[in-house]
Amino acid sequence: MLFPRLLLCLALWALCGSAKPTERKERVVREAPLSAREHDDAQSFDYDHDAFLGADEAKSFDQLTPEESKERLGKIVGKIDEDGDGFVTVEELKAWIKFAQKRWIYEDVERQWKGHDLNEDGLVSWEEYKNATYGYIL
């Protein structure tokens, strides 16, 4: 009678000791923001400009006159209108925004890589990474 109770206690102990808590997952999937600016359509459209054009392109648009800005936007709309029907659909606009965001990400990765590849050999060694990230304190 003692043996089954001991066996049951041992089994429960093993289950409790080997169980690990489940990882906490959020219900909302968070993606990289389209812009570093605050999204407030009532005050400013800067967020939308960054999302639509990409951060670097939006900066250059800020320097243009309204006429130049309209002309350049007209050229961009021609690129967004993939089927050439003269209209931009929601799907085409979404595809353009994704393209602009990916382009910004790739450009940022390239910039970061150049900042870490101190000897410009195309490779980032641990020493280069450590020095670029933490400085020379390690």
Q: What does the pLDDT average to over 77-81?
A: 88
Domain-located, residue 65: yes
Note whether residue 79 is domain-resident: yes
Structure token digits, residue 130: 């450590």
On the question of pLDDT at 128 being above 60, the answer is: yes
Give the residue-averaged pLDDT of 10-32: 62
- Residue 24 located in a structural domain: no
pTM over 0.75? The answer is no
Domain assignment present for 127: yes
Domain membership flag for residue 95: yes
* Boundaries of domain holding 130: 41-137
Is residue 132 domain-resident? yes
Count how many domains the chain has: 1
Q: Exposure of 120 by Cβ count < 10 A (0-12 exposed, 13-18 middle, 19+ buried)?
A: exposed
CB 104 within 8 A of CB 57: no
